[in-house]
Amino acid sequence: MKDILTADFMVEMIRTVSNMYDHGWDERNGGNVSLMLDEKETSDYLQRQTVLRTIPTGFAAPELEGKTFLVTGTGKYFKNVKYAPEVNLGIVRLKDGGKQAELLWGFTDGGQFTSEFPAHMMSHAARLKADPENRVVMHCHPENLLAMTYVHDLDERQFTRTLWQMCTECIVVFPDGVNVLPWMLCGTNEIGEATAEKMKTARLVIWSQHGVYGAGKNLDETFGLIETAEKAAEIFMKIAHLPRVNTITDEQMHLLEKRFGVQAREGWLD
């Protein structure tokens, strides 16, 4: 077998979580990432028939039966992943309708997947129904999106429109907009279910006074999705106390739709 640390999916995961930490999105052990893997890309690196141990998941996701995920660990610091990936990351395969996870690699210190694992898996299931190519769910705490939930109306249409108006590329990068949850207790099935419901209509879900969930086809796309929304939130927080003399109008955003072949969420532009 080839060294799994040289696999493209592993290199990209390590690079991504390190970048998230460097951006200040994942302080201490905050944040988590899961990447769905297919058998073909792991066949040269992983003995799939060898199960190290089985971990109860605390939820059911029959639509993810047999799916394999590279996931960050609970209590792990993203800054340490590049130095000890086998401790801070794990590869698990769901079985028994998602109620059990077979550990195939990693978590060598006896640890397990993130406490937000149920929310990740529920979001994967929801996004796969919306987009069969979805493979990534990413949770982090970008400071400006978080700050925005303290001072902005949490109405999803209004929140989205504000972000779209902050930077020309926003409506191109996330034309499906942003969905928003009120503050909820994290690490529970309840917030996982609520997030998954929001994931049916948007790839970005804001957890008020906490952070954001993003989903995408690969790590780069998902990171860039959050990065773009966070830049827009940063601009908003810099100008929110000032009179706005100019803005990006709905008419101009319709021009962007035509130019880039995207469709804004129905009813969210005038």
List the CATH number of the domain containing 74: 3.40.225.10
104: closest CA among 91, 123, 122, 120?
Answer: 91
Predicted pLDDT of residue 1? 81
Tokens of 125: 């299931």
Q: Do residues 108 and 230 share a domain?
A: no
Predicted pLDDT of residue 107? 96
pTM of the model: 0.95
Query: Distance (Å, rounded) from C-alpha 142 to C-alpha 227?
Result: 9
Which residues are catalytically annotated? Answer: 116
Given a contact cutoff of 8 angstroms between Cβ atoms, the answer to whether 179 and 202 are in contact is yes
Structure confidence at residue 39 as a pLDDT band (50, 70, 90): confident
* pLDDT tens, residue by residue, 170-206: 999 999 999 999 999 988 889 999 999 999 999 999 9
What's the domain range around 1? 1-114
Q: Do residues 131 and 263 share a domain?
A: yes
Q: Do residues 50 and 146 share a domain?
A: no
Predicted pLDDT of residue 77? 96
Predicted pLDDT of residue 187? 85
Q: Do residues 38 and 75 share a domain?
A: yes
Share of the chain above pLDDT 90, in %: 91
Share of the chain above pLDDT 70, in %: 100
